[in-house]
Structure 1
Amino acid sequence: MGVAPPAYDPSAPENATTLPVGAPATVRGYVRELLRRHRKAFAALMAVNAIAVIASMAGPYLLGGLVDDLAAGEHDLPLERTAVLFAVALAVQAVFVWQVRLRGATLGERMLADLREDFLVRSVGLPPSVLERAGTGDLLSRITTDIDRLGEAMRQAVPQLSIGVVWVGLLLGALTVTAPPLALAVLLGLPVLLLGCRWYYRRAPSAYRAEAAGYASVAAALAETVDAGNTVEAHQLGKRRVALSERRIAEWTAWERYTQWLRTIIFPTVNLTNLLILGAVLILGGAFVLQGWIGVGQLTTGALLAQMLMEPVGMILRWYDEIQVAQVSLARLVGVREIEPDTGDSGLTPRGRDVRADRVRFGYHPDVDVLHDVTLRVKPGSRVALVGPSGAGKSTLGRLLAGIYGPRRGEVTLGGTALADMAAEQVRRHVALVNQEHHVFVGSLRDNLLLARTDATDAELWAALGAVDADAWARGLDEGLDSEIGSGGLTVTPAQAQQIALARLVLADPHTLVLDEATSLLDPRAARHLERSLAQVLEGRTVVAIAHRLHTAHDADVIAVVEDGRISELGSHDALVAAAGPYAALWRSWHG
């Protein structure tokens, strides 16, 4: 028909995310699970809806009876009794319609709350490598935009769709009982409705998926640009990032226009179907009356019931259209269920504290390795620095040593136990990764620190803050540990957020640490002072530091120089400087 979908590949934005979109079977299974959880509330909703619909049929039946009496020549019509019955039925209908709306909204809110909680619980339980690769744009669009889209569906569409189905079934049953020939007239409008719906629903789901994925790509582009604002400005990438955002917005809005156009076809089709049904009932019903097959009262009742049928049919199609949009968002939210959970055995215990990487190969994309046959041993209590040019693989190797990723080939072990065979929660008890991305949660300073150890005392919290030189500004807060920080509270500087994260590290007390630019947001003097303070706290612990400032490497026991995904040099600072190799060249360029 007149408008074609956007020319670009609709799967492109969907493939841009690393979190999967749930298959139809997964979505259906989750919906069944939700309905089982709330089966009593759902059954009560259907019951009160049935009573409301039955009460609404009283008017057509009473009016049909009066018409039959008039046609039969009756002069003493029971108008008072009819009016009283109609008033009672109207009151019953009003009460139960109110109950339908109340119970429907309550059921929707409860299901929406379950969905939010299920997504959050499942997300935080995903393997760390999945969360690392997912990025902020896709995660944020799912927990915000997709939840918002589902909000209307859960509150209105699911209950209203169920109500509409019951409504149509009862009206068709009543029409069949009242005047069976008129029930056949309804079938005349079905071909138009079925053809229109078949055309629409063959195009709508994929279009809505592409629209949602396009919005996610827009959110990802904007989030990445904002997060890397300093880098964009330093490298004069502003025009390129604006062009990228405009292209993704154009792709998203193209799908938005296409889905709007689809609606301009289906809605007139529904209106045409309603006219055909009512017209067929009146025309065929009149012919049936002339033939004596039905009475005038039956025709009156049947016509009113057929007219009443239009509202639930329109309701079903309208809310089913909303369900199409919501189904895409639901598929994106329940897609995390298709990710294999952490299969490590949480009962495994390392038989020591030495960390080893043995002939490790790893890449973020199939057949493209970032690390090539890397072998490294980190002795317990030692400090190892990973240095090298940008893009050499230092951070990647650090994440493998921290158990965030598993190697494609080879093995990374802690105390002889492969990290890949241990549950993520078990790994975190022994090894912690601290990088430059720190989040301050909404709540008190105390709550932010207790995330690392829930049973820590106030004295231990202050000691942890003192260990990272944060106690001075923390004690200056009006309410101390009870001061609200984060969004809506006290705004902390990036350096203070980093100190809070490091204080959590002190409280968590892992025996092995992987530090990736952990002090990058502090000025060099403050960073140096903080590292000295941390050195006292971390004494006796194993530390793998990804060194972007060579003074960090200078203090290390062992320095590993990473170049092109391989360790090209290994040794102490003095030994590597004397060797006059790649590290010596880096050291000379650092000191001039």
Structure 2
Amino acid sequence: MTGQEGTPMTEQRELLPTATGRQTVAALRTLLRPRRWLAGAGLLVLTSATAVGLFVAPLLGHVVDLVTTGAPASAITTPVVALAVVAVASGAATAWGLTLIARLGEGALAELRERFLDRALRLPLGQVERAGSGDLTSRAGNDLNAVASVVRSGLPELARSLLAIFLTLAGLAVLDWRFMAAALLAAPVQLYTVWWYGGRALPLYARQRVAVGAQQQQLLETIGGAPTVRALRRREQHLGLVTGRSQEAVDLTMRGVNLVTRFYARLNLAEFIGLSAVLATGFLLVRSGEVSIGAATAAALYFHNLFTPVNIALGLIDDVQSATAALVRIVGVADLPEPAAPPAPRTPADASLHADAVSHAYTADRPVLHEVTIAVPAGQRVALVGASGAGKSTLAGLVAGVHEPTSGSIRVGGVGIGDLDPAGRRAVALITQEVYVFAGTLAEDLRLARPDATDDELTAALEQVGAAEWAAALPEGLATVVGEGGHRLTAAQAQQLALARLVLADPAVAVLDEATAEAGSAGARVLEASVVAALQGRTGLLVAHRLTQAALADRVVVLDEGRIVESGSHDELRETPDGRYAELWRAWSGRRDADHAA
């Protein structure tokens, strides 16, 4: 895989890979190989339809000859009926052939989309974070749509147009080889135009798609961080960043429009040259008596009929270039090699957690954790406490397998996190403050964690986390549509939904990264009880947003600048004079008391 070249405004992210030309061709072969019969049948039917349609021009030429020679009106009846039959047969065969080609394209597109989504869902979250979610979403949205557009409309039309071009040239040769030679005078201009355009379009479209991904990433960051942006009075700066990203995408798009305009201007010149040559040839051949007026008319009609397929075929180059730039980005993800499986996957002996001398840096000059060692016995709950940027979420992500530590090791039940067998990997679950409610019924959303769960089991999971009351009050209970376009859940309800999924998935180890941060004070108190209930019988590692969560844990670990500075029970640390946790507790308690008084 090769990396992508960024544009000037694009920040230097480690973007997801793109495929090489050879890899893209190999992927297309893999998609088309099982559909060879559809391709063959579709091309055969379209060839037949085009061949039948070629009879229109000579039949019209024959009618012209009959009229110019003064033939009776009855003599025209047969060619007119033949024209009608040819039109109906050609139209029916064309529709059938396009249907077969469409089935070929839709089947291949569906398989490509499934492969992309399957691989995207299994990408390491750390890799997605380094690339930025905008890169992945632009591939899943804009790029797939660009390929789909070409497959659905461009591919059938391209096949039909190419067949029409070759067979029409053959028809010109049958009339007189000099007609075909005259028509081909347009070819050098057309070929040069394609060469000129192709060398400029593909790099331009590749840069444009990277710019669109950067634009989406900036929009996601600005919208997602809107409260922080407003709090820090950074609105103008972020609007400037969005404007810069958008302007870059617009500039590249307008360069593409300018390129396409010049492309079509040159094609129009080629049409003028070819038609002039065919008409001049027809005039000379008719004057010398070598062909009839009807044959010259048929030749002119043939060439005129070439305008549409040639323009469609060459015009589709623009769409194909754009789709190719999109396809290499899609295949780059879809064909990513699977991570190497551990040589001997092992099952953890228990639900204990051990982080031994773990250090981590997102970049070489940006260390986040330094020699962190934590041991969490099976069934114990440990809360991570510290200021923003202390490394809490990073440590949680390492334990959950989102990132790999730069140095040190993380073990679950005595087995390294990378050596766990599939069952062992499912034994560790991560819940963050960013909970997604999927579009569908509440029951379908819950069954994402356990597809075979019964309605009674779903209800029991909701009851365990304190969500049964509001779930029962929904208009249709478990059958109520939630998520996009459905019933809107509050932040606390969405978090309880995530905790109910955790109960249904039943992992031995649960990592909760500020799972109550999105709720208000009242909602947070409810969620804290939900968290305790969901963690019953499990080993828990909690990134504590509120210190009341830490107070409920068996042990509290205080991080400061990526290092453990304190560890002990809530009561022990609270009573430690001049301790970091005691300082945090006093400050937090003071704010809480002030809020209650207000």
Taking structure 2 as the reference length, the TM-score comes to 0.89
- The aligned residue for residue 20 of structure 2 is 23
* SS in structure 2 of the partner of residue 363 of structure 1: strand
Among 169, 172, 193, the alignment partner of 1:196 is 193
Q: Would you say 1:220 and 2:224 are equivalent positions?
A: no
Offset at 1:436?
Answer: 0.3
Offset at 1:241?
Answer: 1.8
Offset at 1:533?
Answer: 4.7
Among 382, 385, 396, the alignment partner of 1:384 is 382
Q: Would you say 1:351 and 2:354 are equivalent positions?
A: no
- The aligned residue for residue 175 of structure 1 is 172
CA distance in 2, matches of 1:20, 1:276: 45
Offset at 1:69?
Answer: 8.1
Q: Cα deviations across residues 360-419 of structure 1 (Å, max 9, x unaligned)?
A: 232223553322332322221222221222112110111101111112222222122221
Among 358, 361, 366, the alignment partner of 2:359 is 361
CA distance in 1, matches of 2:317, 2:42: 18
CA distance in 2, matches of 1:18, 1:495: 34
Change (3 A) 1:31 1:290: same
Offset at 1:105?
Answer: 4.5
1:122–1:337 CA contact under 8 A, matched in 2: yes
Q: How does 1:191-590 map to 2 (within 5 A)?
A: 191-287=188-284, 298-345=295-342, 347-366=345-364, 368-422=366-420, 425-577=422-574, 578=576, 580-590=578-588
Offset at 1:139?
Answer: 3.3
1:394–1:562 CA contact under 8 A, matched in 2: yes
2:351–2:538 CA contact under 8 A, matched in 1: no
CA distance in 1, matches of 2:533, 2:98: 63
CA distance in 2, matches of 1:294, 1:183: 14
Q: Cα deviations across residues 15-40 of structure 1 (Å, max 9, x unaligned)?
A: 64733333333332333333234333
2:499–2:534 CA contact under 8 A, matched in 1: no
Q: How does 1:1-20 map to 2 (within 5 A)?
A: 10=7, 13=10, 16=13, 18-20=15-17
* SS in structure 1 of the partner of residue 366 of structure 2: coil
1:127–1:342 CA contact under 8 A, matched in 2: no
Which sits farther off after the overlay, 199-208 or 337-346? 337-346
2:348–2:420 CA contact under 8 A, matched in 1: no
CA distance in 2, matches of 1:461, 1:388: 35
Which sits farther off after the overlay, 564-573 or 262-271? 564-573
1:104–1:155 CA contact under 8 A, matched in 2: no
* SS in structure 1 of the partner of residue 362 of structure 2: coil
* SS in structure 1 of the partner of residue 567 of structure 2: strand
Which sits farther off after the overlay, 449-458 or 431-440? 449-458
Q: Would you say 1:89 and 2:79 are equivalent positions?
A: no
Change (3 A) 1:184 1:526: closer
Change (3 A) 1:17 1:313: farther
- The aligned residue for residue 44 of structure 1 is 41
Change (3 A) 1:95 1:536: closer
* SS in structure 2 of the partner of residue 364 of structure 1: strand
Change (3 A) 1:180 1:459: same
- The aligned residue for residue 595 of structure 2 is none
1:14–1:214 CA contact under 8 A, matched in 2: no
Q: Cα deviations across residues 187-211 of structure 1 (Å, max 9, x unaligned)?
A: 3222222222222111111222222
- The aligned residue for residue 157 of structure 2 is 160
The one-letter amino acid paired with 1:565 is G
Offset at 1:66?
Answer: 6.1
Change (3 A) 1:518 1:9: closer
CA distance in 1, matches of 2:287, 2:476: 87
The one-letter amino acid paired with 1:22 is A
2:197–2:259 CA contact under 8 A, matched in 1: yes
Among 113, 117, 120, the alignment partner of 1:120 is 117
2:64–2:293 CA contact under 8 A, matched in 1: yes
The one-letter amino acid paired with 2:36 is R
1:467–1:534 CA contact under 8 A, matched in 2: no
Matched positions, count: 583
Change (3 A) 1:295 1:106: same
Offset at 1:262?
Answer: 0.5
Offset at 1:116?
Answer: 3.0
1:400–1:406 CA contact under 8 A, matched in 2: yes
1:158–1:323 CA contact under 8 A, matched in 2: no
Offset at 1:223?
Answer: 2.4
* SS in structure 2 of the partner of residue 241 of structure 1: helix
Change (3 A) 1:412 1:429: same
Offset at 1:254?
Answer: 0.8
1:383–1:556 CA contact under 8 A, matched in 2: yes
1:403–1:427 CA contact under 8 A, matched in 2: no
Offset at 1:261?
Answer: 0.4
CA distance in 1, matches of 2:16, 2:383: 33
2:214–2:245 CA contact under 8 A, matched in 1: yes
Q: Would you say 1:35 and 2:35 are equivalent positions?
A: no
CA distance in 1, matches of 2:102, 2:12: 35
| CA RMSD of superposed structures (Å) | 2.9
Offset at 1:493?
Answer: 0.9
1:443–1:485 CA contact under 8 A, matched in 2: yes
Offset at 1:121?
Answer: 2.1
Which sits farther off after the overlay, 271-280 or 117-126? 117-126
CA distance in 2, matches of 1:400, 1:215: 31
- The aligned residue for residue 5 of structure 1 is none
CA distance in 1, matches of 2:14, 2:85: 57
CA distance in 1, matches of 2:196, 2:271: 18
Q: Cα deviations across residues 237-266 of structure 1 (Å, max 9, x unaligned)?
A: 222221111111111111111111001100
CA distance in 1, matches of 2:454, 2:99: 46
CA distance in 2, matches of 1:358, 1:418: 11
CA distance in 2, matches of 1:235, 1:308: 64
* SS in structure 1 of the partner of residue 173 of structure 2: helix
Offset at 1:544?
Answer: 0.8
- The aligned residue for residue 127 of structure 2 is 130
Which sits farther off after the overlay, 97-106 or 351-360? 97-106
The one-letter amino acid paired with 1:368 is R
2:384–2:559 CA contact under 8 A, matched in 1: yes
Gaps of 5+ in 2: 591-598
CA distance in 2, matches of 1:525, 1:123: 37
1:22–1:337 CA contact under 8 A, matched in 2: no
Which sits farther off after the overlay, 330-339 or 312-321? 330-339
The one-letter amino acid paired with 1:329 is A
* SS in structure 2 of the partner of residue 359 of structure 1: strand
The one-letter amino acid paired with 1:422 is L
1:225–1:241 CA contact under 8 A, matched in 2: yes
Taking structure 1 as the reference length, the TM-score comes to 0.90
1:215–1:252 CA contact under 8 A, matched in 2: yes
Offset at 1:525?
Answer: 4.7
Which sits farther off after the overlay, 450-459 or 157-166? 450-459
The one-letter amino acid paired with 1:381 is G
Offset at 1:57?
Answer: 1.1
Q: Would you say 1:186 and 2:174 are equivalent positions?
A: no
Q: Would you say 1:57 and 2:61 are equivalent positions?
A: no
